[in-house]
Amino acid sequence: MQEKADEEARLRREELEHQREQKRKKAEEAHDKRLEKERLELLKLKSGVIEESEIIREDSHEEIEQTFWQKVGSFFYLNKWWLGMGTVFAVIAVFLISDLIAKPRPDMVVLLIGNNQALGEASQLKEYLEEFTPDNNNNGKILTSVYYIPYTGSAKADFANSVTTKLSAELQSAESVIIIGNNKIGEVVTPEETFTDLSELYPDNEHVEKYYFMLKDTGFAEKVGIPESELSDDWFIAIRKPQALLYSDADDMKETYDKDFATFDSIIKDLS
C-alpha cells in the first residue's frame, strides 16, 4: 500500500510538471507570435501599406493634475539627496565666507624663518613691529602678523612639521617682504637673487652685512622681550626685492615692497 501511494504521488508530480511545461511552451509560442505580428505590422507601417495598426499602439498616459504643494513635495522627495548635499556645501561656503569677512586683514606680514622658540612664540616681536606699522588698510587699527616658520635644515624634522611646505608657499607669495631669519636661510634661497642689497641703502651702518642687517648687539632682544642669549650672532632682518613669483607677479610684490619699506627703514633706524 505504501509503494502504491508513493507511485501515485510520483505520477501526480509528473503530471503537474508536464502541465507547467505545456503552459510555459504555450506562453513562449504566444509571445513569439505576438512579436512576429508586431514586426510585420511595423514593416507595413514603414513601407506605407497601412497608416495605423491595431496591434502596435503607443501607450498614452494621461497627465495627472497636481496642486502646487503636491508638486513642491514631489520635487523635494525626488531630489532629496541632491538637495541635502547642496545644503551641506552651502553651509560650508557661508561659514568660510563669513570667516574670511570677519577675519581682520593685517597691515603688514613679517616672516620669521628659523628655529627659535623664544623669538617665535614667547617674544613681544609682534608688538614691537606694530610700533612702526602704519594703518595700511585704513580700518583704524594697527595689526601686524608674524608668520613663524621654524626651519631647522633637517629634512626629517621639517617634513614632519610641514615646515618645508609652509616655507615654500610663503616665499612664492607677495604677501610679505620683510624677513627675520638666521643663516639657515641660505639653504633655501639665493641671497643675491632674493634680497635687496642693504649695503647700498645704508653704506655707513656697522650692522649691515651686504643683504642683512645683523640683530646681535642692537638692543633687538631687549626690545622684543627675550634674553640676549636667545639670539645667536647669525640672526638678521632683511627685505626681499620685487620679482615675479610662482603665486604672484612682480607688480604685486612691488606694491607690498613700497608699502612695507617705510616700516623696514624705521626698524633699521631704531636699531642702529
Does 182 have pLDDT greater than 50? Answer: yes
Q: What is the average pLDDT value for the chain, to the nearest integer?
A: 84
Instruction: Indicate the range of 44-58, 172-186, 234-248 predicted with least confidence.
Output: 44-58
Query: Could you say which architecture CATH assigns to the domain 105-271?
Result: 3-Layer(aba) Sandwich (3.40)
Q: What share of the chain is helix, strand, coil (3-state, %, to 5)?
A: 55, 10, 35
Pairing of strands 212-214, 144-149: unpaired
User: What single letter denotes the amino acid at residue 180?
Assistant: I
**All structural domains of the chain with their residue ranges:** 2-56, 63-103, 105-271
Digit-coded pLDDT (tens) for 136-150: 888 888 999 999 999
Which residues, including other chains, have CB under 8 Å from residue 201's CB and lie 6 or more apart? none
pLDDT of residue 27: 83
What pLDDT score does 238 carry? 97
CA angle 229, 232, 174 (to 5 degrees): 125
The dihedrals phi and psi of 215, each to the nearest 5 degrees, come to -90, -15
Extract the runs of DSSP E, i.e. beta strands, from the chain.
Answer: 108-113, 144-149, 178-181, 208-209, 212-214, 236-239
Distance between CA 247 and CA 222 in Å, rounded?
36
Convert the pLDDT of each residue in 17-56 to its tens digit.
888 888 888 888 887 888 888 777 777 777 766 666 666 5
